[in-house]
Amino acid sequence: MDISQSERKKSYESMSSSSPQSIHDMMSSLKIGEELVEPAQPHEALVLILSYLNLFELLRMNQVCKSLRDAIDSDILLWLDIVVEPPLNLRINDDNLLKFTSKAQGRLRSLVLPSCVRITDDGLLRVIQNNPHINKLYIPSCSQLTPDGVVRAVKILAKHNNKLFLRLENIYNITKEHLQIIYSCLKLNPEEQNRQKSKLYLGYGHFQVQNDLDPIDIEVCPKCKDVRLVFECPRESCRSKNKRPLAACKGCLLCIPRCEGCGGCVDLDDEIGETVCLDLVCLECWLQLRKCNLCNKPYCNRHVDKIEWSRPDSYGFVCEVCSTETES
């Protein structure tokens, strides 16, 4: 979730908690999906919160009644930055995407489609052709997109935008050649690009790009030479040991396994702590995590919420593996 969205959520929450006759009450009193008998102007407060809703909520609101639908459809500002979050990402297909992006009337600025597995090259291309001024195209893990389709889209966008921001993690089969074309579209010098990059791994699916305005996320891994996300090491010891700072344990996750806790490199030949969830955790992080009473394994930070707090804190917890074993 990006900052503007979390702010949006926060202000939405504070709005809904500030008035007792809250937005939640108002929304629950509306019959979603049914046409109201007498179309009336939507309540002022409803119109006000529209800009705080995510796409899924907006599409639901769109079905409430005709006057609300008109209010939503005619407010072009609501449609300029499309972010498809779960669970919508698994459902939208090319036709849906075309339909709701068309509400931006060709002025779409950002298109964020993480793991939208049903979107194809054709679908993306149609949206791009209708909205060539998109300058933020985030399509990580869109498994049906091909490198050629992505390159076609980027070429169109590059013609209409001075600056482009792309997130292309997990687009299968992107080669160095594709990356080269994309770099030249973005007017980037690959050498400079590699030197500037400094990504730290913050656990599965999350990473911190030191320069938030990095135009592209993927690069050629210095170890395997494949095009992937490549991470630096946050460990002080690694930084000081290496003559060329950060070079030795810089690489993709397949080449350099990383700890879910600190993002540091983990040497699989060294002693490492086992976790219930089987995620990789370095020994230092392992020591600090709470362990299961029976098997003495912790959950990693990502899965720590799986701990059942059914017992008082001082008695610790029993992991799900051990609880199923004791049940059977």
Which chain residues interact with Zn ion by CB under 5 A? 221, 223-224, 233, 235, 238, 249, 251-252, 255, 259, 261-262, 265, 277, 279, 282, 285, 292, 294-295, 300, 302-303, 319, 322
Q: Would you state the structure tokens that stand for residue 289, as one six-digit string?
A: 């995590």
- 80 vs 295 by CB, closer to Zn ion: 295
Q: Report the run of H or E that residue 17 belongs to, with start and end.
A: helix 3-18
Q: Report the run of H or E that residue 23 belongs to, with start and end.
A: helix 23-29
CA atoms within 13 A on the CB side of 204: 9
State how beta strands 207-209 and 199-201 pair.
antiparallel
Beta carbon of residue 325, minimum distance to Zn ion (angstroms, whole number): 8
- 203 vs 215 by CB, closer to Zn ion: 203
Residue 168, number of CB atoms within 10 A of its CB: 24
In whole angstroms, give the CA distance from residue 141 to residue 172. 8
In whole angstroms, give the CA distance from residue 88 to residue 57. 10
- 117 vs 294 by CB, closer to Zn ion: 294
- 181 vs 307 by CB, closer to Zn ion: 307
Beta carbon of residue 97, minimum distance to Zn ion (angstroms, whole number): 32
φ, ψ of residue 50 in degrees (nearest 5):
-55, -40
- 49 vs 255 by CB, closer to Zn ion: 255
Beta carbon of residue 38, minimum distance to Zn ion (angstroms, whole number): 53
Q: From 178, 181, 186, select the one nearest 162 (Cα to Cα).
A: 186
Beta carbon of residue 183, minimum distance to Zn ion (angstroms, whole number): 19
Beta carbon of residue 114, minimum distance to Zn ion (angstroms, whole number): 20
